[in-house]
């Protein structure tokens, strides 16, 4: 319902000194004229009453009747009824009349009404949202203003969380219970600046709905900001990093174009909108977190260098941690550990690392390359072909061992019928070959010690069964392995 107050509309003859003078002058002139003609034509002259209209002490025009003005004022108020429902409208103009009696009327009702319509002001009682002393937005009433601030807060917490905060404020002495596992508790929700509400009369078109006011305060106002270009920066990424479209960025920097190259140290304008209000949320959280295990290395002088063995598998521990967290518009600005309880201690991961340096030069005394087994085929002619080494089969386990210290010069499947093959140079003129392996446990360049595991017996390549084919060379010449190894 629109409330229209016509109390400000009145006929005032002596309110302002200037208007007093005008009234007195008008009647004085009329009196002189009336006196000069009264003797000769006392009964034949008829005076006409007119009203000089002033709006906020500015002359508007002259009318024949005050009702002409009052009617247009009422019509003007009615125009606002549909668009400003539920607002208390007041007449923002101070209209005054100066009554005068004249011989000939100078009233021009039409012209005066036109002038009045363009100058008349209607105001509505509203609640101003005042931020740090600045009147920023106007809404219907204080209840709406408070709802606007509440809606801003609800952008970062739930209604239930906000209700809990308000309930605690009404009973501040109540002690909070300990946090449960993985619980988050909101401690406070506040605005970043001083906010107050003041009653004020403003033009109705300045009054926002609650939704409009929330959007307006969130969008904010332009805040000038500069950025100094760093190494690797390009215009597009600078714009994107500051929430600007490329077109807006170029508009802020008239000297730049799409093809411009930004130089290190060059200052550019990244002015952007800054919200009028930001919401600070104080909360505490409980988190169950893993405590990473440590990696420990224990050196063993009896283990060949390059070899390792896991002595103990690592296992993460667990702790319960309470955090005090502060966010500004959803961005964390502070995160402090307030308490911590270790639930389980971590178990370190322990690796034994060999430090014993193995000479790559062999002893010259080769050892049997398998764990037991027997010679299933001698060196010599076999099936019409030369059999270059000996075959060893049926060991107690299939581990293949280096016959002497040396360096691996070949490890893999060369497609030559040997299948998976290892060649070790003992750097004393001797070389040994291990063929048909199921798997290889060493790599080229690796130094191995006599008796160390290098692979697993198999039947790869041209093979009729699981066995090791073993060859020995001296200075490049094929040797009989049985001259160097014995079972």
Task: Give tens-digit pLDDT for 141-177.
Answer: 999 999 999 999 999 999 999 999 998 888 776 688 9
Cβ count near 50 (within 10 Å): 21
On whether the CB atoms of residues 430 and 404 are closer than 8 A, the answer is: yes
Q: How confident is the model at residue 33 (pLDDT cuts 50, 70, 90)?
A: very low
User: What's the DSSP call for residue 108?
Assistant: -
Q: Which stretch of 76-85, 145-154, 178-187 has the lowest confidence by average pLDDT?
A: 76-85
Map 341-393 to HEC letters.
EEEECCECEEEEEEEECCCCCCCCCCCCCEECCEEEECCEEECCEEECCEEEE
On whether the CB atoms of residues 280 and 187 are closer than 8 A, the answer is: no
Does residue 303 carry a pLDDT above 90? no
Does residue 343 carry a pLDDT above 70? yes
**CATH: 3.30.70.930, 2.70.70.10, 3.40.50.2300, 2.40.30.20. Which one for 370-483?**
2.70.70.10
Q: What is the mean pLDDT of residues 350-357?
A: 92
May I ask the CATH class of domain 221-274?
A: alpha beta
Q: What is the mean pLDDT of residues 40-44?
A: 47
Q: How confident is the model at residue 85 (pLDDT cuts 50, 70, 90)?
A: low
The residues, ordered by sequence, that sit 6+ positions from 483 with a Cβ below 8 Å of its Cβ are 472
Beta partners for 86?
A: none
What residue segments make up the domains of the chain, in order of their start? 3-120, 127-171+181-219, 221-274, 280-356, 370-483
Mean pLDDT over the full length of the chain: 86
User: What's the DSSP call for residue 364?
Assistant: S
Q: How confident is the model at residue 17 (pLDDT cuts 50, 70, 90)?
A: very low
Max Cα–Cα distance, the chain, nearest Å: 170
Does residue 42 carry a pLDDT above 50? no
* Whole-Å CA distances, 413 to 417, 441, 454, 460: 9, 13, 15, 9
Q: Which stretch of 89-98, 270-279, 325-334, 439-448 has the lowest confidence by average pLDDT?
A: 89-98
Higher pLDDT residue, 224 or 211?
Answer: 211
Q: Which stretch of 35-49, 105-119, 243-257 has the lowest confidence by average pLDDT?
A: 35-49
On whether the CB atoms of residues 363 and 321 are closer than 8 A, the answer is: no
pLDDT at res. 403: 97
pLDDT at res. 35: 41
Question: Which is it for strands 88-91 and 3-5: parallel, antiparallel or unpaired?
Answer: parallel
**Structural fold of domain 280-356:** Resuscitation-promoting factor rpfb fold (2.20.230)
Instruction: Tell me the per-residue pLDDT of 216-236, one tens digit each, with 9 for 90 and over.
Output: 999 888 777 899 999 989 999
Instruction: Tell me the per-residue pLDDT of 375-432, one tens digit each, with 9 for 90 and over.
Output: 999 999 888 888 999 999 999 999 999 999 999 999 999 899 999 999 999 999 999 9
**Percent over 70 (pLDDT), the chain:** 88
Q: What is the mean pLDDT of residues 249-253?
A: 89
* Whole-Å CA distances, 427 to 75, 356, 357, 461, 475: 115, 19, 16, 28, 10
**Percent over 90 (pLDDT), the chain:** 63
* Whole-Å CA distances, 107 to 28, 115, 364: 19, 13, 137
End-to-end CA distance of the chain: 114
**Helix axes 109-119 and 66-79, enclosed angle (nearest 10):** 40
């Amino acid at each position: 319902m629109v409330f229209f107050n016509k109390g400000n509309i009145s006929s005032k003859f002596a309110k302002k000194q200037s208007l007093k003078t005008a009234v007195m002058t008008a009647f004085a002139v009329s009196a002189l004229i009336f006196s000069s003609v009264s003797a000769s034509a006392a009964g034949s002259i008829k005076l006409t009453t007119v009203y000089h209209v002033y709006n906020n002490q500015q002359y508007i025009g002259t009318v024949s009747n005050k009702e002409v003005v009052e009617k247009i004022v009422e019509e003007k108020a009615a125009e606002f009824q549909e668009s400003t429902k539920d607002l208390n409208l007041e007449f923002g103009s101070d209209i005054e009349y100066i009554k005068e009696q004249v011989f000939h009327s100078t009233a021009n009702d039409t012209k005066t009404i036109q002038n009045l319509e363009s100058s008349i002001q209607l105001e509505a009682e509203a609640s101003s949202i005042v931020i740090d002393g600045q009147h920023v937005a106007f809404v219907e009433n204080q209840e709406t203003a408070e709802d606007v601030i509440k809606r801003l807060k609800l952008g970062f917490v739930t209604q239930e969380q906000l209700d809990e905060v308000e309930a605690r404020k009404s009973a501040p002495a109540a002690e909070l219970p300990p946090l449960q596992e993985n619980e988050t508790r909101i401690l406070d929700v506040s605005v970043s600046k001083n906010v107050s509400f003041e009653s004020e009369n403003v033009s109705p078109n300045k009054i926002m709905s609650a939704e409009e006011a929330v959007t307006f305060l969130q969008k904010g106002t332009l805040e000038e900001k500069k950025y100094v270009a760093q190494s690797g920066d390009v215009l597009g990424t600078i714009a994107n990093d500051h929430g600007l479209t490329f077109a807006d960025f170029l508009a802020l920097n008239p000297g730049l174009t799409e093809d411009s190259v930004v130089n290190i140290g060059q200052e550019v304008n990244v002015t952007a909108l800054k919200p009028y209000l930001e919401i600070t949320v104080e909360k505490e959280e409980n988190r169950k977190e893993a405590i990473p295990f440590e990696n420990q290395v224990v050196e063993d002088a009896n283990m060949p260098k390059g070899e390792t063995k896991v002595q103990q598998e690592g296992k993460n521990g667990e702790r319960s941690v309470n955090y005090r967290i502060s966010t500004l518009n959803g961005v964390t600005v502070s995160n402090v550990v307030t308490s911590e309880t270790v639930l389980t201690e971590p178990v370190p991961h322990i690796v034994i690392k060999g430090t014993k340096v193995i000479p790559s030069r062999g002893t010259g005394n080769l050892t049997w390359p398998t764990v037991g087994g027997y010679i299933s085929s001698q060196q010599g002619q076999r099936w019409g072909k030369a059999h270059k080494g000996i075959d060893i089969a049926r060991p107690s386990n299939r581990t293949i061992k280096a016959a002497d210290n040396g360096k691996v010069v070949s490890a893999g499947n060369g497609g030559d019928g040997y299948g998976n093959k290892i060649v070790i140079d003992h750097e004393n003129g001797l070389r040994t070959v291990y063929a048909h392996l199921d798997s290889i446990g060493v790599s080229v360049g690796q130094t191995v010690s006599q008796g160390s595991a290098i692979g697993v017996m198999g039947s790869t390549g041209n093979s009729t069964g699981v066995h090791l084919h073993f060859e020995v060379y001296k200075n490049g010449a094929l040797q009989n392995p049985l001259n160097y190894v014995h079972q």
